[in-house]
Copies of this chain bind each other. A is one copy, B any other.
Amino acid sequence: MQSDCRSCPFNTRATKMLSEDSFVQLSENHLELKFKKGDTIIKQGMFSTNVVFLRRGLAKIHLNGPYHEQIVRLVKAPTYLGLPTTFGDKVNQYSVTAVTETEVCYIDVHIFQKILNENRDFSNEIIIELCQNELESFRRCANRTQKQIRGNMADVLIEFAEKIFQADSFTLPISQSELANLVDTSRESVSRVLGEFDKDGLISLEGKRIEILNKKSLRLISQNG
């Protein structure tokens, strides 16, 4: 509850810009929590009263689509979570769930609001982040709807390697059916495509362990479908 935020080792570019005073406020008004895999951090449909700072771990942003769950994206610490859903609506419009073990800080919206108002640079960073996220979600949506499965699967694998794990070898943090919700396809198709990629020597697949063997070809598939 009351650790010192100034010395938090998980500060982002944005949080480095806070005034001393704001750090004190943060320190006195946040709630630190640990979650294990599968735990709900933010729940769609509940009143949104907190912004969440993800200190450590991996989480998924997901929402109830008209027919099935859609995973919007995976996010990696350190980052803020739930800004859009907290500022944009009284009720959470999406859920956030821990994908690995995570550590988060809950910050009351009003405190966060106050800090935004008292720190221009911080507020500017947040605005920029929101803008970038929106651009990113435009791109994502265009890709999902226009590309076909192999292209989208290639994208996800590349994204995992480059954005999440920063390594060409990693273990899938989510199941194939979650992967299906992330690329808007069926669980069976995910299995088939992964099998194809493996057979074609693009990746090596052993259980959830994946190694990307031919990123160039994956990129081509990403582009051409």
Interfacial residues, chain A to chain B (CB-CB below 8 A): 63, 65-68, 70, 72, 83-89, 93-94, 113, 116-117, 120, 123-124, 126-128, 130-135, 137-147, 151, 184, 223, 225
Contact = CB atoms under 8 A, between A and B. Distances in A.
A117 B116 contact: no
Given A63-B138, A117-B120, 14 more contacts: A63-B139, A63-B142, A66-B223, A67-B147, A70-B142, A70-B145, A72-B141, A84-B130, A88-B128, A93-B138, A117-B124, A127-B130, A130-B130, A133-B134
A20 B97 CA distance: 45
Nearest to A184: B145
Nearest to A67: B146
A140 B142 contact: no
A132 B89 contact: yes
B88 A132 contact: yes
Contact of A85 (B116, B117, B135): B135
